[in-house]
A and B are shown apart, each in its own frame.
Chain A
């Protein structure tokens, strides 16, 4: 993923995250309870779970392109860059797996 593809992913994920944040804020301010039970109920609806999961995916992709851009701009020693890119990818991937697992558990 480079060039135009990365650039597009950055824009599209930003759009989705923007829309999702607005939706989430409205939804939260309208909720009558923020209890665990209310959360579980909300997530039990597949539509909600999928929307949330997509938001997490968009966040991770956005962070990947952004973090990669910073490293390509500023970290020039090739070895260090590879280590940092791998670290970033590993961390984001791990977060994604952790989030998916947690989501499946509470659904």
Chain B
């Protein structure tokens, strides 16, 4: 059962006879007590239950357990957490894929507000810094501004981000320099507007990113693409921005 025994990786994942063990990070900064892992046991679980279902059941027993959630179906991005060492969304993570015990911690590298709830202000601030809105120089047309299918295709894989933070919270470069390195989520959004045919601020956007920190702290470690629960690829998006920067100079 131990978290570190190699046998953990040989074990069949998911509940056994409907039972699973959970080890959940508990911390209330205001209490003055040190953070700890609290152990829980649940029965009558099915491998197809989502981790969020288990957490909601645990909260019925222990109403002090803090975590965020809203949509329950991988759309709102509010229940990002570290599940058995990997960032993901509890609502779309099947218990059947998880080794027992399930060790749950808050997203790494973000200040803890309480238990699994982290302070995402810096994350959202970095998102804001890429000015994530369309900046066309012409006044908006009276009718819709159509894109060709090819132009729209360039945005595939960039518009689907739900800003859950799983990627940035898995990125060592973001851990070391969260205030200066924008992080994979914000950079994916930068790419989304740089690639948009209707946006005319491309030059300024590329210019703004060309310093030692905002983009270039990325060392292509690829943790971000590895964990994104929506299957997006921020590493590739960052590569696209680099290529656009190169394109400006040749």
Interface residues of A (CB under 8 A from B): 2-4, 6-8, 69, 72-74
Contact = CB atoms under 8 A, between A and B. Distances in A.
A48 to B, nearest CB: 31
Contacts of B216: 2-4, 6-7
Tell me whether chain B's interface is mostly helix, strand or loop, or mixed: loop
Contacts of A69: 219
Given A7-B242, A73-B177, 20 more contacts: A2-B211, A2-B212, A2-B216, A3-B210, A3-B211, A3-B212, A3-B215, A3-B216, A3-B245, A4-B246, A4-B249, A7-B216, A8-B246, A69-B219, A72-B177, A72-B212, A72-B213, A72-B217, A73-B173, A73-B217
Contact of A74 (B176, B212, B215, B246): B176
A73 B216 CA distance: 11
Interface residues of B, number: 16
A90 to B, nearest CB: 20
User: Closest 10 A-B residue pairs measured CB to CB?
Assistant: A3-B210, A2-B212, A4-B245, A3-B211, A73-B176, A4-B210, A3-B216, A2-B211, A7-B216, A3-B212
Interface of B: 173, 176-177, 209-213, 215-217, 219, 242, 245-246, 249
Nearest to B249: A4
Contacts of B245: 3-4
Contacts of A3: 209-212, 215-216, 245
A13 B122 CA distance: 36
A6 B212 contact: yes
Contacts of A6: 212, 216
Contacts of A74: 176
Contacts of B249: 4
B213 to A, nearest CB: 7
A7 B242 CA distance: 9
B179 to A, nearest CB: 10
Contacts of B219: 69
A20 B176 CA distance: 35
17 contacts: A2-B212, A2-B216, A3-B210, A3-B211, A3-B212, A3-B215, A4-B210, A4-B242, A4-B245, A4-B246, A4-B249, A6-B216, A7-B216, A8-B246, A72-B217, A73-B173, A73-B177
